[in-house]
Amino acid sequence: MNTLNDVVTFGEIMGCFVATTPGRLSDVSEFERRLAGSELNVAIGLSRLGHHVGFVGVIGDDPIGEVARQRLSAEGVDTIHLRTDPVAHTGLLLKERAEYGDPQVVYYRRGAAGALLRSGREVLGYLSSARHVHATGIPPALSGSARAFAFEALDAARAAGCTISFDPNLRPSLWQSRPEMTAVVGALAERADWVLLGVEEGCTLTGRSEPGEIAQHYLRRGAKAVAVKHGARGAQLFTAHETISRPAFAVDTVDTVGAGDGFAAGFISAALTGDTPADQLARACAVGALATTSAGDCDGLPTVDQVEQLLRRDSVYSHAGG
Ligand code: KDG
C-alpha cells in the first residue's frame, strides 16, 4: 500500500470568534479570532502527537480560509486536498466565554464552503491511501454532496483496508429532523472499527441507555472498540474481551469545546502506535483534558511531551493515593 499519511480526515473548517468576556453573546463586543471544526481539531491534535495527517475539505477565498490554510500547514497537516472555492465563504461561529459548563455556540455556516465537499476519484484515492481515516457525523449534515462523500469515503477506506474511527458529533440544529440524523449518522457509525461517542449520543443513536449496551450495539456490527465518554466523569472503553473505565484527568479547564476531538486524537494516536486498550483510553482522556485548557477549540491540543507529563503526574497521584 502506498501510505502517504497515517491519518486522513475530512470536514468543515470555520472561523471561531470567542467572546473575550463572559456574558450573553449579544452583550459582548470583543471576540478573539480562532479556528474551529471538529475534524480540523483532530487533524491538528494528531499532527502535534507526531503523525502524518491529511485534511480534505473546502474553504472560501477569504481571510478565514487563508488563516485556515496557513494554520494547517504550520501545524504540519497536508492540505493538498483542501480546496478553495472562489464563490462560497468560509463558515463562522460565535462562542460564549462560559464560566461554568459548555459555552453557547452560534453557527453561521449555512451555504458555506464546507458544504461543497464532493466526491471524486482522486480525493477518494488520497483518502484510502492513508493507514487510517477519521470521520464525524457533521459532514453528512451539511449537504447532499458532503453526505454522499462521507459514505463513499468510508466505503473506499474500508475496501482499501484502512482502519476507520467515527465520532457522531451530533448537531441536531444542522439536520432536517432527528430521525434523519439518527439514521444517517448511525449508518456511518456502523462502518467504523473504533466508535467514539458520548453516552447521550449513544442513547440517541442506539435507543439504549446503558454504556455496555450502547457498546454492544456497535461491537455486534463489527466495531473492534467502542469508547463511551462521560464528560468530566471520565470514559469507558469496550472491546469484545474487556471493559475498561477511567476517571477524567483534573486540569484547569477554560473551555470544554474540543474535548471530544482531543479524545479522538489521543485514542487514534495510541491505537495506531499499538498501545494496550488501557493506554489508549488513558491517552484519549489525557489529550481530551488538555484540549480544554485553552479558549480555542484546537489551541490547547498537546504535544507528546505534554501528554507524557500529565500521565506521569496522574500515576504519581494514584500511587500516592494507594
Ligand atoms: O468538536 C468541536 C467542534 O464542535 C467545533 O470545533 C466546531 O465543528 C464544530 C461544530 O460543528 O460545532
Report pTM.
0.96
Q: Quick: pLDDT tens for 199-258.
A: 999 999 999 999 999 999 999 999 999 999 999 999 999 999 999 999 999 999 999 999
The one-letter amino acid code at 226 reads V
DSSP for residue 78: B
Q: Is the CB of 36 under 6 A from ligand 1?
A: yes
What average pLDDT does the chain have?
A: 95
Quick one: which atom of ligand 1 is closest to the CA of 261? 1
CA of 92 to the centre of ligand 1 (A): 11
CA of 79 to the centre of ligand 1 (A): 19
Quick one: which atom of ligand 1 is closest to the CA of 36? 6
Q: Quick: pLDDT tens for 124-166.
A: 999 999 999 999 999 999 999 999 999 999 999 999 999 999 9
* Section 56-65 average pLDDT: 98
Q: Is the CB of 124 under 6 A from ligand 1?
A: no
Q: Which residues of 205-236 are buried (b: 16+ CB within 10 A; e: fewer)?
A: bbeeeebeebbbbbbeeebebbbbbebeebbb
Q: Is the CB of 260 under 6 A from ligand 1?
A: yes
N-to-C CA span, the chain: 47
Q: Is the CB of 167 under 6 A from ligand 1?
A: no
Q: In what order do the strands lie in the sheet with 194-198?
A: 82-85, 53-60, 7-10, 132-136, 163-167, 194-198, 225-229, 235-238, 243-246
At which residue does the C-alpha cell 500511587 appear? 319
**Around Cβ 312, how many Cβ atoms within 10 Å?**
10
**Around Cβ 200, how many Cβ atoms within 10 Å?**
13
Q: Quick: pLDDT tens for 272-313.
A: 999 999 999 999 999 999 999 999 999 999 999 999 999 999
Give the residue numbers marked as catalytic.
261
Q: Is the CB of 314 under 6 A from ligand 1?
A: no
- Measured in whole angstroms, the distance separating CA 104 from the mean position of its chain's CA atoms is 19
Residue 321 has pLDDT above 50, yes or no: no
